[in-house]
């Protein structure tokens, strides 16, 4: 995978711990030669969350691992479900503070899954972020301007910064 210098810098800003940064690069398949030299970065050490629970539904292990590492580093508790059926089962165990859903799942469309989530007792209150390789970020931004409910769209690929920015719309930083 090739990342732009801006994407690498954004990743580094969100993951100041070098070991975690290297883990994410390994998951993304970025080799050491593609990593820029160390540059000073201004990073807040305050985590975004105090243990809020996020359910990630994505069948691509690279994407779900990336999301999990970034969010756990921000203090979130994260559970990954590779399909809609496992997401619905996880909802019976614990109600998440946020769900991140890939639109293209193997067993059901992400939109259909969201409708089923909304039909659960706590479902209408759970914010949902859709991620999709079918959307350019510009198209996702247009959809987000039209949204009035607890739904948000992010186009793939996205940076760690974009992920954190999107999550913080629904789960603001802990005080």
Separation between Cα atoms, residue 81 and residue 89, nearest integer Å:
9
Q: Which residue has the tokens 């989530």?
A: 117
Judge if 139 and 88 occupy the same domain.
yes
**CATH code of the domain in which 157 resides:** 3.40.50.2300
72 within some domain: yes
- Check whether residue 159 and residue 88 sit in a common domain: yes
17 & 72 share domain: no
Segments forming the whole domain that contains residue 24? 5-33
Does 58 lie in the same domain as 25? no
Query: Does residue 119 sit in the same domain as residue 84?
Result: yes
Number of other residues whose CB lies within 10 A of the CB of residue 18: 10
Say how far residue 84 (Cα) sits from the centre of its chain: 16
- Tell whether 162 and 81 lie within a shared domain: yes
Reading the chain (175 residues) residue by residue, the pLDDT tens digits are 556 666 666 667 666 667 777 777 776 666 544 444 443 333 344 455 567 999 999 999 989 999 999 998 888 999 999 999 999 999 999 999 999 999 999 999 999 999 999 999 999 999 999 998 766 566 666 666 766 677 888 888 888 888 998 999 888 776 5
Q: Please tell me whether residues 20 and 85 are part of one structural domain.
A: no
Q: Report yes or no on whether pTM surpasses 0.85.
A: no
Residues 81 and 150 in one domain: yes
**Domain identity same for 58 and 144:** yes
């Amino acid at each position: 995978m090739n990342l732009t210098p801006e994407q690498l810098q954004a990743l580094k800003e969100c993951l100041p711990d070098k070991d975690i940064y290297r883990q994410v690069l390994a998951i993304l398949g970025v080799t050491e030669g593609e990593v820029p030299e160390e540059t000073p970065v201004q990073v807040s050490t305050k985590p975004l969350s105090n243990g809020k629970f996020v359910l990630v539904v994505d069948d691509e292990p690279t994407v779900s691992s990336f999301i999990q590492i970034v969010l756990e580093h921000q203090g979130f508790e994260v559970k990954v479900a590779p399909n809609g059926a496992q997401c619905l089962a996880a909802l019976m165990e614990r109600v998440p503070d946020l769900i991140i859903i890939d639109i293209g799942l193997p067993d059901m469309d992400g939109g259909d899954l969201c409708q089923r989530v909304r039909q659960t007792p706590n479902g209408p209150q759970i914010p949902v972020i859709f991620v999709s390789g079918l959307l350019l970020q510009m198209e996702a931004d247009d959809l987000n301007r039209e949204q009035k409910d607890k739904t948000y769209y992010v186009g793939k690929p996205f940076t760690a910064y974009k992920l954190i920015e999107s999550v913080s719309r629904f789960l603001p930083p802990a005080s």
